[in-house]
């Protein structure tokens, strides 16, 4: 299969560009820069960004609240509001729910909503070299409850995704000592995952499993961090495609565009000599040859 043409959308130079979400209503892409403490927006009108009080790691739009986002940050989940068209002003952050971390120096990482609008997000110790299994996967049912700890023992939880019918949940751990993607049977009524099993062992494959997206065919797209690739796996866990991008650290992908047939990819801008990848930290896009699904908003 001919490789698609990958284009630079925004030379954002994010430290860690994460959690891209396409807004169908606005025809705009939102994402965050974790160490940059900022929320970003791109559309035909241009690129805007807003400062956040803590490091944001994952976002989801809030149902019935235009312009408001639920964000997993450092100390908990927050409602972010104040996204004006021009950007530049700090966002208002109202705490929805706090969490008690196992250690200091932790924050939220990857997260998204299931098909019913529950928000799922994992936590991690920011010192990845410690390889501490203190990360927890939480489920936030609505804005009136406290987060439910569903799974622990994670180092760098990542790759959250849900099958089109909402009955399979995917989760990865991108730490170099793990590099595994799991699949779970998922009860959409109760929001309970079960029957954890290895979906893909990425240790023999190029790249660590980072952020992911699921297309309308049920295939699982995941960024191969450190390898400059975006992989697509079939629902059976077979590697179907690998698309190269012009940076070594793609971070997370999301479907967008008028037909939801464009895959947007955020990336990380590491330190050191970047002469071979000057666009690191940018947002890229390519035609995926398939369609995605609308991202469910947080229903709480």
pLDDT (0 to 100) of residue 88: 72
Compute the CA torsion angle 1, 220, 266, 255 (nearest 10 deg): 80
State which CATH number among 2.160.10.10, 3.30.420.40, 2.40.10.330, 2.120.10.30 fits the domain covering 7-287: 2.120.10.30
**pTM above the 0.85 mark?**
yes
pLDDT (0 to 100) of residue 208: 98
Structure tokens at 260: 């939801």
Q: Are 179 and 155 a contacting pair, CB within 8 Å?
A: no
Q: CA-to-CA distance for 151 and 160, rounded, in angstroms?
A: 13
pLDDT (0 to 100) of residue 85: 60
Q: CA-to-CA distance for 19 and 34, rounded, in angstroms?
A: 10
Q: CA-to-CA distance for 248 and 246, rounded, in angstroms?
A: 7
Where in the sequence numbering do the catalytic residues fall? 210
Distances (CA, A) of 112 to 57, 120, 137, 252: 11, 5, 11, 12
Q: CA-to-CA distance for 122 and 27, rounded, in angstroms?
A: 28
User: Shortest CA distance to 119 belongs to which of 175, 81, 78, 154?
Assistant: 78
3-state class of 211 per DSSP? strand
Strand order in the sheet with 76-81: 58-61, 69-72, 76-81, 92-98
Compute the CA torsion angle 152, 211, 271, 28 (nearest 10 deg): -130
Q: CA-to-CA distance for 125 and 156, rounded, in angstroms?
A: 8
Q: Report the chain's terminal Cα–Cα distance, integer Å.
A: 42
- Other C-beta atoms lying within 10 Å of the C-beta of residue 231: 23
Determine which helix (DSSP H) or strand (DSSP E) holds 18, and give its type and residue range.
strand 17-23
Per-residue pLDDT 10s for the chain (300 aa) are 689 999 999 999 999 999 999 999 999 999 999 999 999 999 999 999 999 999 999 999 999 898 899 999 999 999 999 887 667 788 999 999 999 999 999 999 999 999 999 999 999 999 999 999 999 999 999 988 899 999 999 999 999 999 999 999 999 999 999 999 999 999 999 999 999 999 999 999 999 999 999 999 999 999 999 999 999 999 999 999 999 999 999 999 999 999 999 999 999 999 888 999 999 999 999 999 999 999 999 985
Q: Are 4 and 275 a contacting pair, CB within 8 Å?
A: no
Structure tokens at 247: 């940076």
Structure tokens at 208: 């660590």
Q: CA-to-CA distance for 19 and 39, rounded, in angstroms?
A: 10
Structure tokens at 238: 């077979």
Domain residue spans of the chain: 7-287
Q: CA-to-CA distance for 13 and 232, rounded, in angstroms?
A: 25
């Amino acid at each position: 299969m001919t490789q698609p043409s990958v284009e630079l959308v925004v030379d954002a130079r994010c430290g860690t560009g994460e959690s891209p979400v396409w807004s169908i209503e606005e025809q705009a892409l939102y994402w965050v820069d974790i160490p940059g403490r900022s929320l970003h927006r791109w559309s035909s009108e241009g690129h805007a960004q807003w400062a956040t009080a803590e490091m944001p790691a994952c976002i989801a739009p809030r149902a019935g609240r235009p312009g408001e986002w639920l964000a997993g940050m450092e100390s908990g989940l927050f409602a972010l509001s104040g996204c004006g068209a021009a950007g530049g002003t700090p966002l208002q952050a109202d705490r929805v729910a706090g969490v008690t971390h196992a250690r200091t120096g932790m924050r939220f990482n990857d997260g998204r909503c299931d098909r019913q609008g529950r928000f799922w997000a994992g936590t991690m110790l920011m010192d990845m070299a410690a390889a501490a299994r203190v990360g927890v996967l939480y489920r936030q049912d609505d804005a009136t409850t406290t987060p439910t700890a569903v799974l622990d023992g994670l180092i760098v939880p990542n790759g959250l995704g849900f099958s089109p019918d909402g009955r399979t949940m995917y989760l990865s751990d991108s730490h170099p000592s793990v590099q595994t993607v799991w699949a779970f049977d998922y009860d959409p009524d109760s929001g309970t995952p079960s029957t954890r099993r290895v979906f893909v062992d990425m240790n023999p494959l190029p790249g660590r499993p980072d952020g992911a997206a699921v297309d309308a065919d049920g295939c699982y797209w995941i960024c191969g961090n450190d390898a400059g690739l975006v992989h697509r796996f079939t629902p059976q866990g077979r590697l179907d495609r690998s698309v190269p991008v012009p940076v070594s650290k793609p971070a997370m992908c999301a479907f967008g565009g008028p037909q939801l047939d464009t895959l947007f990819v955020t990336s990380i801008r590491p330190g050191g000599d970047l002469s071979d990848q000057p666009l690191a930290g940018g947002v890229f896009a390519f035609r995926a040859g398939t369609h995605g699904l609308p991202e469910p908003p947080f229903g709480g």
